[in-house]
Amino acid sequence: MFKNIQIKSLLLAAVVFLSSCEKEDPAHIHEGEVITTLEVTVTNQADDSQVIYEFEAEHDDHDNQGNDHGEHEAIELDSNSTYTFEVRFLNESDPDNIEDITVEVIEEADEHQVFFELEGSSITINAASDDHKDSSNNPLHIKTVWETTTAGEVDVIAYLIHEPTSKTGNSRNDFGGSVDAEIEFEAHVEDTP
Amino acid sequence: MLLKYSNFSCCNVFKTVVGIFLLTTSFGYSQNCNLSITGKVISFHDKKPLETAVVQIVGETKNAVTSVDGVFVFENLCPKKLTIKISHINCEDFVTKIDLTASVTLELFMDHHIETLEEVVISKERTDKLSSTTKVYSLTESEKERYNTKGLAGALEQISGVNTLSTGNSIAKPVIHGMFGSRVGIVYNNLMLENQQWGQDHAPNIDINAFEDIRVIKGASALKYAGSIAGGIVVLESSLPIPIDSLYGKTILNGMTNGKGMGIVSSWVKSYENGTYIKAQGTLRKNGDFSAPNYMLTNTGSHEKNIALSVGKNGFHSMWNVYFSYFNTEIAILKSAHIGSIRDLLGAIEADSPSVIEPFAYGIESPKQANTHHTTSLSYSKFLSSNQKLNIKYSWQKNNREEYDLRRGDLKYTPAIDLRLNTHDITTNYEWSRNKGSYDGGLFFQVQDNYSNPDTEVRRLIPDYLKVKWGGYATASFNLSDKVNYAIGMRYEHQSNDVRKWYRNNRWESKNYEELLGSYVINEVVGQRLVSRDLIFNTVSFSTGVRYMPSSRYRIALNFNYAERAPDIAEMFSDGLHHSLATIEYGNPFLTKEKTHKLVLDVEKREGLFTFIASPFITFGEHYIIIEPTGVEQTIRGAFPVWEYSAVNALLAGIDVDLTYEINSELEFRQSTSWVHGTNKNTEKPLIIPPVTTTNQIRYSPQKWNAFSIALHSKITFTQHRFPLNNPDDVPVIENGQKLYKEVDISTPPNGYHNLGLDLNWGPYKIKESAINIGLSFDNLFNVGYRDYMNRLRFYADEAGRNVMFQIKISH
């Protein structure tokens, strides 16, 4: 039985040794690639007036207020008008260090595509002449021109698509890939008095 | 092992031509000619059953051919002195005499190895060591080799009641009696595998080719290894070489058409007369993209490289062993299965084919997994007397798991998950036998450290933790009479988990954690707070069983297990996004231990060439931990379904039926069917469990071509009609300029399917000092397109199409 005693003391030594390990506090992780906000700058080509809209999700509580940002506001447009839309993707998870993800999207233009999917046919969208382009000269739709016709409320889904299988298409499914951002909003087109 | 040495000491059994051990002697003396001899012929070297060995009773017309399990039966024998002769292609004939006074069960070891034909050894029935009262299912050597490219779960699927839970084509884990993950234990070389088994897309990091013996117990009776496993246990063991001067090995070369895969497995054993041995085994495997009948499954290749080394000595009074193994695999995940939102998932479900279809390639791109598992162990055993043995073992398992997603910019080649799990175990146990009882008692101590590398720049799916676990077990089994075995066992575990987790503030606030966990906060930064908790669990598990053998034809066993399981760290703390299912998964920090009660009945009947086994079971789980959808969370990618762990009462019941009929010496038919039924008793909703499957196999081994066999397999997987409805809220989509709401049906199981396979085997042929076997097998013979309910990527693509596999095995 002396063997047993040896083993017991060995076990005891191991217990003492191994229990003395203290776990270090894990470092806080800053998520570098997260998109928290979609910023849309809408410029009325008639008078160069600008409105900036911000869309964010409650998931990304970047201002640390625990606010609910789930409800998105609507973009207000006039009927029979032409607007320039410029989108920016931001990482605002650290308010002291806001990152502009659009820069990466433009750098990796071949692997990204912005697409707006619209209800009805009262708005037509085309790439702006100064839009960013990929290596095959496909516009990224970061800068687009929106032409409105009749008044009405139009549901819009904006997508930032990662690794699309096609860079052109009429519906989300035509593009393939996976979405990095997907924002639903309404475009309110109203007749000017 | 004990027995082997006691025999060794009294007579030089190793030099005899054959040895016999009478496993269960005398069922009572009888004058009638109704005695039977049931025998199992086993290859000495790899401890595998030898099939197609011819067994004759000299001077009588009776003869038999061993089955795939190496089993033969003679019945209606009169009490007298008999001479039995066994012949096998690779071995010299062996003759032994028996003075038959009662029905006997024999275990016969033949040396399959050509250079050392005379070596035979005797041992106790190995399965009895694992459990004396439950039915133990083992994989035969041919089953193991045929499926050696499919991994552990693919090989185990041959056993009734074992299904697989897969993620694509190359990631699969075993499901036993409807349970998987932490409820299924995998033990290799007396060590529980610790490789983040909680994940549904985590295949066991183990190479089946490194083990000769692979067995499954459907139940939880292996208290020696764990108390927490209610589903079942898979035991992988490598055999111990005998103390003679010998060098032997085998090499298997594989090629397959689907995925253009190739592989080599080689294992070598060098043994010495003084008991020292060296074993080395290596596996290299590579395959490119698989293809479904109608399209390529782009990015489904995998690479694997494994090595295992073992050095030890089997002495008279002691044994020691040093073991090292390295397992490395890189597995590509179907490109189309990486999606960003619930709308993407809807698109995938509606599409007939995956969104990315590219020409065949061997390359592995993101999304992918890269896993490594190192094991180092030292073990020592001492025989204190002929019936007492003391074992001590130290082991270190180092597991690294990396998962790569499609990422942007600088993080493109950085894994999104990088988990490093280090587990140290010290176990000691003492085995002894006295009169009709055999006993085993042991103590164990484990320290496990999980480190989640923050360089991923993705919030940790699993927090950092340090787990300390210790406890003990005691098991006993008794031969109450020649017909009755009884076993009982108990295990106690204490574990403390020092967990440090960063919570996001909005999650913290929405779940109102401040009230219950506020006092554990040790740090705060913008948007997040660090919580340090020490969670302690004490668990007690218990099992008992009885096996009754009214005659040599019947065996009836009834086993009851009570298992307590501390919740996994993942079940309490997981926090992250699953790309392939577009779900956010959250742990539940208030879970308590899970308690399962399981009753398994085994009824076995052997009647001549007919064997029938039925195993019904019933399991009741209290605080049974499941994950289910609980709501949605609005993200920058739209609304995501949230799945959270919760504890419910669950009832699982089912039956496995196995039937073997040797129609004649050339033709054998096998059938197995299994069915499981599972219900969440809180909601009366079904649990996600495998559908009914039935497998039929017919094997023809014509005697005129004595080294050829052909087998046709058929596996029917029925449609699962009982399933929980877990669909997320309907999703708004714009189609042809119209806005409408669509159902995302992730719940409805796909249709059942019928899979046919064909195996052709030639050999063994003796060439000089080696023996060669050649195999040609076909999977999905008719190239049928189908999807499987238990494949998590079933929304994206069909299963693999026809595969033709070619295998050459050279035994040296």
Task: Determine, for residues A183 and B732 on separate chains, whether the beta-carbon distance falls below 8 Å.
Answer: no
Name the residue of chain A whose CA is nearest to B529's CA: A28
* Cα–Cα dist B560/B110, whole Å: 37
With CB atoms and an 8 Å threshold, state whether A62 touches B530: no
Is some CB atom of chain A closer than 8 A to the CB atom of B535? no
**Measured between CA atoms, how close is B183 to chain A, in angstroms?**
27
Is the Cα torsion angle B455, B459, B462, B466 positive or negative in sign?
A: positive
Residues of A in contact with B496 (CB under 8 A): none
B446 beta partners: B425, B469
Beta carbons of A26 and B411 less than 8 Å apart? no
A23/B502 CB distance under 8 A:
no
Per-residue HEC secondary structure of B249-271 comes to EEEEEEEECCCCEEEEEEEEEEE
What was the pLDDT predicted at B93?
Answer: 65
Which residues 490-519 of B are in CB contact (within 8 Å) with A?
498, 500, 502, 504-506, 509
Can you give the three-state secondary structure of A79-123, one letter per residue?
Answer: CCCEEEEEEEEEECCCCCCCEECHHHHHHCHHHEEEEEEECCCCE
- B341 to chain A, any CB pair closer than 8 A? The answer is yes
Dist. CA B17–CA B120, nearest whole Å: 6
Q: Which residue's entry shows tokens 């080395």?
A: B280
CATH number at residue B49: 2.60.40.10
My answer on whether B343 and B413 are in the same domain is: yes
Interface A-B, measured as beta-carbon pairs within 8 A, has a size of 178
- Contacts of residue B301, defined as CB under 8 A and 6 or more positions apart, other chains included, come to B259, B286, B287, B288, B289, B290, B332, B361, B362, B363, B364
pLDDT of B625 reads 95
- CB-based contact, B642 to chain A, within 8 Å: no
CA distance B4 to B21: 10
A128-133, Cβ contacts within 8 angstroms, sequence gap of 24 or more: A128/A84, A128/A86, A132/A106, A133/A109
Residues B134 and B108 in one domain: no
Q: Which residues of A touch B737 (CB under 8 A)?
A: 118-121
Out of B94, B124, B154, a domain closes at B124
Give the pair of three-digit tokens for residue A87: 């989108």
- Which residues in chain B are contacts of A111 at CB distance < 8 A? 408
Assigned token pair, B124: 């106790």
Chain B residues inside the 8 Å CB shell of A29: 454, 456-460, 502
Give the closest of B406, B456, B733 to A162, CB-based.
Answer: B406
Nearest to A27 by CA among B415, B451, B448: B451
Q: Which residues pair with B656 in a beta bridge?
A: B615, B674
Which residues on adjacent β-strands are paired with residue A75?
A187
Collect all residues of chain A within an 8 Å Cβ-Cβ radius of residue B534.
none
Nearest C-alpha in B relative to A171:
B735
Coil, strand or helix at B607: strand
Whether B334 contacts B319, CB under 8 Å? no
Take residue B639 and report the two structure tokens written for it: 């609304």
- The answer to whether the Cβ–Cβ distance between B409 and A177 falls below 8 Å is no
Q: Do A178 and B509 touch (CB under 8 A)?
A: no
Q: Report the residue of chain B nearest A97, measured CA to CA.
A: B526
The residues in B 385-404 lying below 8 A from A, measured between CB atoms, are 390, 392
Segment B622-663, tens digit of pLDDT: 999 999 888 778 777 777 888 999 999 999 999 999 999 988
Residue partners of B381: CB distance under 8 A and separation at least 6:
B318, B319, B320, B389, B390, B391, B392
- Residues B162, B301, single domain; the answer is no
CB contact under 8 A, B735 and A181: no
Q: Which of A28, A115, A162, A166 is the mutation pick for testing B, counting most B CBs within 10 A?
A: A28
B190 and B291 share a domain? Answer: no
Bridge partners (DSSP) of residue B493 are B471, B539
Handedness of CA B58, B61, B62, B63 (dihedral sign): positive
Residues B220 and B256 in one domain: no
Give the number of other Cβ atoms within 10 Å of residue B768's Cβ. Answer: 7
Compute φ and ψ for B740, nearest 5 degrees.
Answer: -150, 165
The residues near B10 (Cβ < 8 Å, ≥ 6 apart) are: none
Tell me the shortest Cα–Cα distance from B352 to chain A, in angstroms: 12
Domain total for chain B? 3
Burial B66-85 (b: 16+ CB within 10 A, else e): bbbbbbbbbbebebeebebe
Given B100, B124, B148, the domain boundary residue is: B124
Q: Which residues contact B102 (CB under 8 A, 6 or more apart)?
A: B25, B26, B27, B28, B29, B30, B35, B79
**B210 & B358 share domain:** no
* Four-residue CA torsion sign, B431, B432, B437, B443: negative
Query: Which residue of chain B has the CA closest to A153?
Result: B739
A178 with B411: Cβ contact below 8 A: no
Identify residue B93 by its one-letter amino acid code: D
Reported as type and span, the H/E element at residue B362 is: none
Alpha carbons within 13 angstroms on the beta-carbon side of residue B22 total 15
Q: Of B355, B384, B445, which is closest to A14 when you measure between CB atoms?
A: B445
To the nearest whole angstrom, how far is the Cα of B464 from the nearest Cα of chain A? 7
State whether A29 and B351 contact (CB < 8 Å).
Answer: no
The answer on B94 and B221 residing in a single domain is no
Across the interface, whether the CB atoms of B445 and A11 are under 8 A apart is answered yes
Q: What is the CATH number of the domain that holds B767?
A: 2.40.170.20
Q: What is the pLDDT of residue B731?
A: 87
B356 touches chain A (CB under 8 A): yes
Judge if B35 and B135 occupy the same domain.
no
The strand order across the sheet containing B184-188 reads B136-138, B213-217, B232-237, B184-188, B191-192
> Domain spans of chain A?
42-190
The pairing of strands B162-167 and B554-565 is: unpaired
* CA proximity to B609, closest of B655, B662, B654: B662
Residues of chain A with pLDDT under 50: 1-2, 59-71
B637/A181 touch (CB, cutoff 8 Å), yes or no: yes
Binned average pLDDT, 10 residues per bin, chain B of 812 residues: 30 30 34 77 70 78 79 83 74 70 77 33 39 80 81 88 89 92 91 87 90 82 85 87 84 95 94 91 96 96 96 87 96 90 89 92 93 96 84 96 87 90 95 86 95 90 94 91 89 95 90 92 90 95 92 90 94 86 88 95 89 94 92 77 93 95 90 95 94 94 85 95 91 86 92 95 84 92 95 92 94 86
d(CA A32, CA A29): 9
CB A21 to CB B735 under 8 A? Answer: no
Vertex A98, ends A92 and A104: CA angle to 5°? 95
- Triad B368, B372, B376: Cα angle to 5°: 170
CATH number at residue B223: 2.170.130.10
Instruction: Note whether B151 and B272 are same-domain residues.
Output: no
Q: Spell out the residues 6+ positions from residue B210 whose beta carbon is closer than 8 angstroms to its own.
A: B188, B236, B238, B267, B281, B283, B306, B308, B325
In this structure, the answer to whether residues B642 and B771 fall within a common structural domain is yes
Of B430, B525, B636, the CB nearest to A59: B636
Query: Nearest-CA neighbor of A42 among A4, A97, A82, A8?
Result: A82
Last-in-domain residue among B80, B99, B124: B124
Residue numbers in A near B505 (CB within 8 A) = 61, 64, 66
Q: Do the Cβ atoms of B161 and B677 come closer than 8 Å?
A: no
Same domain, B531 and B464: yes
Mutate to test the interface with A, among B395, B404, B408 (most CBs of A within 10 A): B408
pLDDT score, position B658: 93
Per-residue pLDDT of B561-614, as tens digits, reads 999 999 999 999 999 887 777 788 999 999 999 999 999 999 999 888 899 999
* Contact assignment for A181 to B428 by CB distance below 8 Å: no
State phi, psi for A138 to the nearest 5 degrees: -85, 130
Helices (H), B121-249: 126-130, 141-146, 151-156
Q: How far is CA B467 from CA A30, B187, B495, B595, in A?
A: 26, 20, 7, 21
Contact between B408 and A104 using a beta-carbon 8 Å cutoff: yes
What is the interface pTM, i.e. ipTM, of the complex?
Answer: 0.82
Helices (H), B429-584: 505-510, 513-517, 569-573
- Chain B, nearest residue to A156 by Cα: B734
Q: Does residue B530 contact residue B104 with C-beta atoms inside 8 Å?
A: no
Expressed as residue numbers, the domain containing B78 is: 2-124
Which residues in chain A touch residue B341, judged by CB atoms under 8 angstroms apart? 178-179, 182
**Binding-face residues of B in 733-752 toward A, CB within 8 A:** 733-735, 737-739
- The structure tokens listed for B451 are 């480190």
CA distance B511 to B529: 14
Nearest to B66 by CA among B147, B141, B14, B154: B141
What is the distance in angstroms between the Cα of A128 and the nearest Cα belonging to chain B? 22
Q: Which residues contact A186 (CB under 8 A, 6 or more apart)?
A: A72, A74, A75, A153, A154, A155, A156
Is the same domain home to B176 and B38?
A: no
